[in-house]
Amino acid sequence: MSAGSSAMAGLLAGYAVAVPLGAVGAYVVALSARTSWRAGLAAGLGVATADTAYAAVAVLGGAPLARSLAVVARPLAWASVAVLVLLALGVLRSALRTPRADRGVRPVGRPARAYAVLLATTLANPATVMSFAAVALGMQSRAEAGVADGAAFVVAAGVASASWQALLAGAGAALAAVVTGVRVRVATAVVSAAAMLALAARIAVG
């Protein structure tokens, strides 16, 4: 398989994992709308970093990786539930504060922390784990692929994820520019928190 074909496969895998707008995507949009585009972008890049890391591990690990991930999927699921619940409660607490809280930058809106929190959340997300486990199984049929092919796949997957997350952060910033006010910010926070709690509940029962 050529490096070009591997890059195309990486783009498809990256978008396939990133594009479905779940709780994490909703959080990136809401964070960007409530704080700043920089914070939203940093959070999105945390997601993209995790996606890229899993793509790299998928290329390196193949079928043995898929079996290993299946073993740890449930512990990761419970870790993800805990992180999602804490994130949702933090979003609600921040949104329901008095308007004076809008002065200055809240801790959750700091780019470095937003990056770290979303990186950890995505790494512990069973959906991400199992998606790239499927990729790992697919890589089994490309055992003859060289280093350049694998690198092209990983880079393309990372670029796809990062570009989508940047789009979500931009959408959040655009939303904040068009509709302002405490009620709108509270509404976006409530929707984001509800999505995260719904995902946590689905993972917990599942």
pLDDT in tens, 19-53: 766 778 888 888 888 888 999 999 999 999 998 98
**Opening angle at CA 47, ends 112 and 131, nearest 5:** 160
Report pLDDT for 42.
Answer: 95
**CA-based end-to-end distance of the chain:** 37
pLDDT at 101 > cutoff 60: no
Mean pLDDT for all residues in the chain:
76
Q: Which of 203, 150, 196, 160 is nearest to 31 (CA)?
A: 196
Extents of the domains making up the chain: 3-205
Residue 181 phi/psi, 5° resolution?
115, 155
Report pLDDT for 47.
Answer: 93
Q: Helix 37-95 and helix 126-139: axis angle, to 10°?
A: 140
pLDDT at 206 > cutoff 60: yes
Which residue would you say has higher pLDDT here, 54 or 131? 54
Q: Which of 118, 128, 26, 124 is nearest to 81 (CA)?
A: 124
Residue 179 phi/psi, 5° resolution?
-120, 115
**Opening angle at CA 175, ends 173 and 177, nearest 5:** 70
Element (H, E) at 100: none
Report pLDDT for 103.
Answer: 42
Report pLDDT for 102.
Answer: 46
Question: What's the whole-number mean pLDDT along residues 46-64?
Answer: 82
Q: Which of 60, 156, 42, 159 is nearest to 109 (CA)?
A: 42
Report pLDDT for 33.
Answer: 82
Residues 118/24, Cβ–Cβ less than 8 Å = yes
Question: What's the whole-number mean pLDDT along residues 194-198?
Answer: 76
100: confidence class by pLDDT, cuts 50, 70, 90: very low
